[in-house]
Amino acid sequence: MSLSTHVLDTTSGRPAQGVPVTLDSLGPQGWETVATGTTDDDGRISGWHVGPGRHRLTFDVPRSFFPEVSIVFDADGRGHLHIPLLLSNFGYTTYRGS
């Protein structure tokens, strides 16, 4: 299953460039890092792959009140999964994108 993410700074209305992101998968021994990356000029990371199971994206955003945002999700292993992060100085939201 392919995975992508997108970070949008809703305060400025622009993509959040240069955000470090870690992808972890939950296995029998706990969380294991399977990929790391940094958002591009359009605030995106793509080309990651996950299998069925529980996974976590962790965004390092020290410029905001929440210096780290973790999104835990379950993947069924089929198709494409897109997880956006909409970020402001004092809040954030996410959803399953397409």
Mean pLDDT of 25-44: 98
pLDDT of residue 64: 87
Please compute the mean of the pLDDT values over residues 21-44 and round it to a whole number: 98
pLDDT-derived band at 63 (thresholds 50, 70, 90) equals confident
The fold adopted by the segment(s) 2-94 is Immunoglobulin-like (2.60.40)
CA R_g for the chain: 13
Structure tokens at 11: 């305060």
The tens digit of pLDDT for each residue in 69-98 reads 999 999 998 889 999 999 999 999 999 998
CA-closest candidate to residue 87, choices 57, 56, 61, 52: 61
The domains of the chain are located at 2-94
User: If you count them, how many residues does the chain have?
Assistant: 98
